[in-house]
Structure 1
Amino acid sequence: MYKTSSIVYIFLAAFAATAEEAPSPDGTTVSGLSYKTVSAREFQVTPDTGEDMGAPLSALIHQIIKEQTPAIIQLEKGTYYLDGNGCDHSVFMVDHARNLIIRGEGPETRLIVGRPSIGTFFFSSGEDLWVEDLSIDYDPLPYTQGRVLVVNAKGGWFDLAIDPGYALLSEPWFANAPDPDGKWGMIFSPKEPALKPGAADFVYIEKWEQLGKRAWRLFPPAEHTQRLADLRMGDRFVQLARHGKGGAVFFWRCVESGVRNVHIYASQSVAVGAVSTDRITVSRLFVGRKPDTDRLVSTDADAVHIQQNLRGPVIEECLFESMADDGINIYYPSNIVTSIVSETAVRTDRSGIIEPGDRLQLFDAMEGRILLETKAESVVPGPDNEYRVTLDKALPELEVGAVHGLSLHNVSRCGADFIIRKNTFRNHRRHGMVIKAPQGVIEDNVMESLGGYGIVVGNDAETPEGIVPYDLSISGNHIREVGRSRWYGVDNMAAALQITTHAERGRLAKERAIHGITLRNNRFENPPGPALYIGAARNIHIDTLQISYSENSVVPKKTAAIVIENADTIGMKRIQVESQQKEVHAGVLICDSVDEGLEGADIEEIQITGPITMETVRDERQ
């Protein structure tokens, strides 16, 4: 831990006088702009003092914003303690800034946040804002970990011995985390820093009580007590305090901003987040367990979380590991229709932002259909946190006042035109990527040892989140050993790569709304059943796909390597399947809901190596 000095606050009071002197520039040019470089040390932002550097660095940032001159704030190597006192949301709230770079000298420039319930950088309403060449960590951490002593599944509890050096559950940031989504934990293997294979990937914890100095009894809610069957004495367990306040670096309504060469070892929420933003770049970001520690997780939530972005992100050459959630999530939070006002107007909740001129889809989640593609002609905020949205086209024949599981997807704010390239995803809780956006490129990524699937392409009709993706290029990816946690392998639509239009209650949609997906040169090892599932889709083209199941792989149900259901215009060529598992009964399964003949599925050059009973293609249409 670190101490806080009152000298810092004396400096803050005097800052207005001293900061009038312009920091010395060095004429650095970035992207055609001339940036002055400001030495943070000259403004008493000094490493390795053990004193709070959050207040003076925040004051320096705000002084530079006032000057409205492109600037680089240069931090030296060393440890900068940020105590977070007086901060309700994030240590650095940076509003209406432009052309600002906060730069360290590599991961040895260490920012240590002292309050595990707040974020670090929160940028809002800015442009050309960057965090570069530094690392972010927390002390104390926004989670704790320990080893399971006793499990009483019938009694609905288990005992946990918290590891030395980790916070006790009596600390306020655990009790004060939001219910229930901020208070849950994960089961880890006894020896490896990895999720326990075949176990539930999360367990809500409703309450806890102290038994001894470091021993605690944890109680899941009634609906999660059956998950205690996955716990054994000696297993390790991580309990999160997930507060969801921004993230290590978060952008709200920003343009052309991002992070480069940043290491993030912990966060009470996401590593990098962007909401209602236009083109974020995430380059050479490392999210993972701090080296030379016995930590089991990195961040409490996703590595990169993209919501309601006008143009999607560019995410390249990153390493994501040990997060408590997804690697990358791109989506729009659909607006639930609460009533139909007229033949051209609806009321919706305000889950997502809608502005006049935005392109919208009216989606029927009950059936899984896009009923209308239109634009917002006018948007008027209403009572009860609602919008009244007038459309430029008439609604289909729906009864005025009635609501039938309808929602609006905003195509203009869903993160379209994204690039995800040359990243590695390793040993984290859920999916590698969750893609609910169109017109993107996913290429040359590696996903391995994940609790969830490798790539999930499709809408979420339950939450709901959209949109239904289209026009994607997925090439050169290597996905191995994914879907390792309980449930993922036995789901009806399980696959290392899932391309699906969903209806409510986890059902396959009736409409083949997802379309225009091209797969080239992808490789799968030991998938959780199928390597590829295509459902409620059309115009999917696959060229060169390699799938292998080793003798030691776990295939939880009878399956084919590729499953096609409720689809048309599916083209495949150069498919290779090698299996040593008798559960894999065919290379390709074409379900009877696929259109007849080659108009439904056209397969060329498929090679199968496996048990003598294994079929090349099982066609249920015949």
Structure 2
Amino acid sequence: MDVFQEALQKGIKLRSRPLLDFPIKKEFHVRDFGAIADDRFPDTEAIQSAIEAAIRSQVPARVVFDRGVYRLNFPGGRDALRIEDASDLIIDGRGCEFVLMEPDKQLIGLRNSKRIILKDFSVDFEVLPHTQGWITAVDRKEGMITVRLDPNFPDLDQPHFRKADYKWGFIKDRNNPVAFKEGTEYRLYLTEWTKIADHTYRLKVRHKIKLQTVEVGDPYVQISRIDGALFHASRCEDVTFLNLRIYCSSNALFATSYCSRPNFIRINASPRQGRWLTSGADGCFNFGGREGPWVEDCYFESLGDDNLVIKGYRAYCVNVVDPYTFDLVHATLRFVRPQPNFEFYRKQDKENKWMVKPGDTLTVLDPVKREIVANPVVVEVASLDYGVRVKVDRRIPDLRPGTDYENSLSFFNEDACLPGFVVINNVFKSAVRFGCLVKSHDGMIAGNLFERHSDQSICILNTYQEFNGIPSNLLIKDNTFKLASGWPVKTAQTAQHKLNPNRNIFGVVQSSVNWPVGQWDIEEAAFREIRNISIENNRFINWWQNPAVVINNGLHVVIRGNYFELDEYHAQTALTGVPLAIKIVNSTDVQVADNVLNGPNLNPKEGIKIISSTAVRLKNNRKSQR
């Protein structure tokens, strides 16, 4: 039985296979519109003309390129190219390379389009959106570092560094600068810097304590991150990114919003030889949509944020019509301060409505009662100037308007949170934060390598920074996890690391349901609602500090046939004293069977910990005989 059939047998509803090709009726060559490879002239307008001609043809079409380099400028804004209101279109690079002429810009934006394939090209920048060098001095008392930049990389006085939305530095590994230095805080937040000599800067950090593990001689990278993505798509269906080579980006590599069935196939996002960073932000960020992404045979390395994110949008009620009818708008991020008022919410959604239609199932969470108060089905939807009016099939207890996440109801659409996702045979390597952040349901993560993530490799939770729905129905199988679960940072000042290490949100593979508290904190939920999670036949090698698998709030969980191995060095980092392979907390109906544990002090008796749980069945878990 292959892994797809196994997922279906477990009741996991997966999406359809990805769109990889289709017959065309017309072909448009960018050369015929004036875009000439390797001529050193900007080609943006000519390429855009070819794209628009293909769209106007209203038949399945292909836009093709010659091998060589096409320079892209930005006459129309942040995006060099755009595809809007299109269908059945292939952008076929045929091995060409796009070089963006400005470091803070983006390659392409797609909107309201269906059946689009972008394939067979690479992307780089003329002026890099990051720079790199070496630490030459550390002043822990004053909270300062001195950095000597590689003269082949941009100067920190260039505008894209001074104007960046996020001014962050990263400490890299001396033996492998593409990787991040283990044992250091994963980000240095910078407040200012001054040039003191050619290619040499003195920089001030926001938190002095973060410098305790920074040393002279450490490789250093500084980003010029801005919000956005190199490739971004909104309200599209069946968009495929295929056989792409991405060398760098100032922001996320890919971002989709309210897209159904986005596909990421054979993407190689890693630095060119001699560079130490790929992007200043996420690899593949997916936010809302009726069917989830398909991510296969991709290679992501050295990213400045999460490798892969899959989640939906939250909504607030801003008006109650009757016990069954109410108005919903998108909720903002909970860590934004000050929180927006009602007037903001009555303007925010004029163009972009919360995704919902009749037949959808909603989950309603009440942070005051600390309960799931309803799972109504939508029976009617009407568009308003400022949002959507929804009628449901049952009363919602204590239905009330409000836009305060600690006191107001939060609404989640279970049919628009990217369910049915597939993540198979990828490499997620050397990134800060999460390998894969899952806030969705019905998905499969199989055959992947997760290596060197500062936090969880697979994080299954509803809230840490952003408040989302509760994950369920997941198969995690045949993956390998190496060097993950929190670098040993005793000095960390980020919100997550300030949390008590005994909390149950930490682990290589981790699940939990939490309530947001304040701007950054959380409180673990009492109920058991992360349902039907299978973690099978995975390999966990040399994880840091926390347990390899942590299941909190679980219901109907299988942890079977996994192999756990620690060497002496990593075993000594365990914050729990004795290293833990598996930790089960506040869960019901959990099967832990046929797992093998190998390493110093790692054994089934002490390495599998059960806390406040019922119907946990332990069978044939054993110490390796090697």
Does TM, scored on the shorter chain, surpass 0.5? yes
Deviates more, 1:340-349 or 1:270-279: 340-349
Query: What is the letter of the counterpart of residue 252 of structure 1?
Result: S
In 2, Cα distance between equivalents of 1:394 and 1:47: 62
Query: What is the letter of the counterpart of residue 318 of structure 1?
Result: C
* Equivalent in 233, 237, 252 of residue 251 of structure 1: 233
TM alignment of 1:146-545, pairs within 5 A:
146-178=133-165, 182-193=166-177, 194-221=179-206, 224-245=207-228, 247-290=229-272, 292=273, 294-337=274-317, 343-346=323-326, 348-351=328-331, 353-357=354-358, 358-365=360-367, 369-377=371-379, 389-397=390-398, 404-460=407-463, 462-464=465-467, 466-485=468-487, 486=489, 490=501, 492-493=503-504, 494-504=506-516, 505-528=521-544, 529-545=546-562
Residues 527 and 33 from structure 1, CA distance in 2 versus in 1: closer, same or farther, beyond 3 angstroms? same
Map of 1:594 onto structure 2: 613
Deviation for aligned residue 1:347: 5.4
SS of 1:441 mapped into structure 2 = strand
SS of 1:232 mapped into structure 2 = coil
2:591 equivalent to 1:571: yes
Q: Is the 8 A contact 2:137 2:216 kept in 1?
A: yes
In 2, Cα distance between equivalents of 1:409 and 1:211: 52
Residues 213 and 341 from structure 1, CA distance in 2 versus in 1: closer, same or farther, beyond 3 angstroms? farther
Deviation for aligned residue 1:154: 2.2
In 2, Cα distance between equivalents of 1:585 and 1:215: 55
Q: Which runs of 5+ in 2 are unaligned?
A: 1-18, 332-352
Residues 242 and 81 from structure 1, CA distance in 2 versus in 1: closer, same or farther, beyond 3 angstroms? same
SS of 1:68 mapped into structure 2 = coil
In 2, Cα distance between equivalents of 1:348 and 1:211: 54
Deviations 1:205-239 (A, max 9, x none): 22222222222222233xx3321223222222222
Query: What is the letter of the counterpart of residue 168 of structure 1?
Result: D
In 2, Cα distance between equivalents of 1:519 and 1:553: 22
* Equivalent in 87, 99, 121 of residue 98 of structure 1: 87
| Count of aligned pairs | 565
Deviates more, 1:55-64 or 1:579-588: 579-588
Deviation for aligned residue 1:356: 3.6
Q: Is the 8 A contact 2:306 2:432 kept in 1?
A: yes
Residues 408 and 398 from structure 1, CA distance in 2 versus in 1: closer, same or farther, beyond 3 angstroms? closer
Residues 375 and 478 from structure 1, CA distance in 2 versus in 1: closer, same or farther, beyond 3 angstroms? same
* Equivalent in 549, 552, 557 of residue 575 of structure 2: 557
* Equivalent in 106, 122, 144 of residue 131 of structure 2: 144
2:109 equivalent to 1:89: no
Deviation for aligned residue 1:176: 2.1
Q: Is the 8 A contact 1:368 1:508 kept in 2?
A: no
Deviations 1:171-196 (A, max 9, x none): 11122222xxx222222123421211
Q: Flag the structure with more relative contact order, 1 or 2, with Cα contacts below 8 A and sequence separation at least 6.
A: 2
Deviations 1:242-261 (A, max 9, x none): 1123x222211111111111
TM alignment of 1:15-30, pairs within 5 A:
none
Deviation for aligned residue 1:101: 1.0
In 2, Cα distance between equivalents of 1:258 and 1:129: 6
Deviates more, 1:522-531 or 1:345-354: 345-354
TM-score (norm 2): 0.85
Residues 382 and 573 from structure 1, CA distance in 2 versus in 1: closer, same or farther, beyond 3 angstroms? same
Deviates more, 1:256-265 or 1:224-233: 224-233
Give the alignment's Cα RMSD to 1 decimal.
2.6
Q: Which runs of 5+ in 1 are unaligned?
A: 1-28, 612-622
Deviation for aligned residue 1:333: 2.9
Q: Is the 8 A contact 2:317 2:329 kept in 1?
A: yes
Query: What is the letter of the counterpart of residue 307 of structure 1?
Result: F
Residues 350 and 236 from structure 1, CA distance in 2 versus in 1: closer, same or farther, beyond 3 angstroms? same
Deviates more, 1:565-574 or 1:374-383: 374-383
